[in-house]
Amino acid sequence: MKRYYSIALIIGGLLAFSYESVGQKFNPQNRYFSIGGCLNAMNYIGDLDPGPSFVSPGIKFTRYNFGITGLYRLKPRVSLRATVSWGRIAGSDEKNSNYAEKNIYRKYRNLNFRNDIIEVKADVVIDLFENRGKYPKRVDYTPYMFVGIAYFHHNPKGQTAAGDWVSLRELSTEGQGLEGGPKQYSLHQIALPIGVGFRYKLAKHLDLAFEIGWRFTSTDYLDDVGGDYYDKDKLRAAKGDLAVQMSDRSLEAYQKDQGIRDKATLNSDGTAINGFGSAGDQRGDRKGRKDVYIITGFHLTYIIPAKVICPKFR
């Protein structure tokens, strides 16, 4: 996470420099408001994502995102923006993996999730090309970048063998909040949004933009997967059979998939694939990398006309 904050500080420095550089000879009357809507796609990078990096996530589980946004043009290059959006991320070991040696262990693990995310974001937008005049004189197009802060609410859910979706946090699938387990994660989180875009002037009052933004979070549990398996007896006593079922899905994979049975062996008591499900076995990424979600899409905004001042006649 420190690396992400370093990136934000660099961009923030550029924004501050740009703000000062354009601060001279700009008429405050040329400021304006715009409002609009967003139609986006969402992706995520975490334990259930096969993408190699935050630049190249897996796209098989791309999901939708919708939002509304408001922007205040503060300086020729600098704008302040607020956005509220709702969308979904998802992942599945069964559907995102194959029988290759580097992927078969994801097949064995057999976890899945979806997570609906409500986000409230405030950021600073800086254009590459400036406009010192009124909004009708703005440039026809400009690349831009942005950095800010976001609050989001999430609630990861998993699909049972019967097809029902259940909330995973309350089941403490890795012993979160239980004796000897990790701290329970919060459904309310802060993220660092950083991104780039390209805006085009459609008409006198209309702009169309395409942008991609990364949300670097401080949680590893967007997918409810982050560490090791918890003791099943303790988990059953505290949370019940459903918690045990959603914690370890490896036996389900073994029972329904002949390809897995050809490769895997069960542990001594036959309740899970060997290396999965026992207390201390690896369930998620042990490197402490935090989850990231990505919002990519189009923004259509309408510039609110400035108040018309009628001339006075004597």
Convert the pLDDT of each residue in 242-294 to its tens digit: 999 999 999 999 999 999 999 999 999 999 999 999 999 999 988 888 999 99
CATH number at residue 41: 2.40.160.20
Residue 166 lies in a domain: no
CA distance 6 to 168: 33
Residue 313 lies in a domain: no
**Tokens 């996470």 map to which residue?**
1
Residue 53 lies in a domain: yes
Q: Are 146 and 195 in contact (CB under 8 A)?
A: yes
**Burial of 26 from C-beta contacts in 10 A (0-12 / 13-18 / 19+):** middle
- CA dihedral in degrees (239, 240, 243, 245; nearest 10)? 170
Residue 186 lies in a domain: yes
Convert the pLDDT of each residue in 58-112 to its tens digit: 788 999 999 999 999 999 999 999 999 999 999 999 998 888 888 899 999 999 9
Residue 314 lies in a domain: no
Would you state the pLDDT for residue 210?
Answer: 98
Residue 254 lies in a domain: no
Would you state the pLDDT for residue 69?
Answer: 98
Confidence of residue 23 (pLDDT cuts 50, 70, 90): very low
Residue among 35, 48, 92, 86 nearest 65 (CA): 86
Would you state the pLDDT for residue 73?
Answer: 93
What's the domain range around 37? 2-156+177-220+289-303
Convert the pLDDT of each residue in 165-223 to its tens digit: 999 999 999 999 999 999 999 999 999 999 999 999 999 999 999 999 999 999 999 99
Q: Are 107 and 174 in contact (CB under 8 A)?
A: no
CA distance 76 to 30: 9
Give me the phi and psi of 225, to 5 degrees please.
Answer: -130, 125
Tell whether pTM > 0.85: yes
CA distance 267 to 32: 66
Q: Give Cβ neighbours of residue 141 (< 8 Å, ≥ 6 apart).
A: 129, 198, 199, 200, 201
CA distance 262 to 4: 43
The lowest-confidence range among 1-5, 130-134, 137-141, 147-151 is 1-5
Number of domains in the chain: 1
Question: How big is the CA angle at 197 (ends 147 and 92), to the nearest 5 degrees?
Answer: 80
The alpha-helical segments, DSSP class H, found in 174-256 are 232-239, 241-247, 250-256
Determine the longest span between alpha carbons in the chain, in angstroms: 99
The tokens for 22 are 């354009």
Residue 148 lies in a domain: yes
Residue 93 lies in a domain: yes
Given a cut of 90, whether residue 140 has pLDDT beyond it is: yes
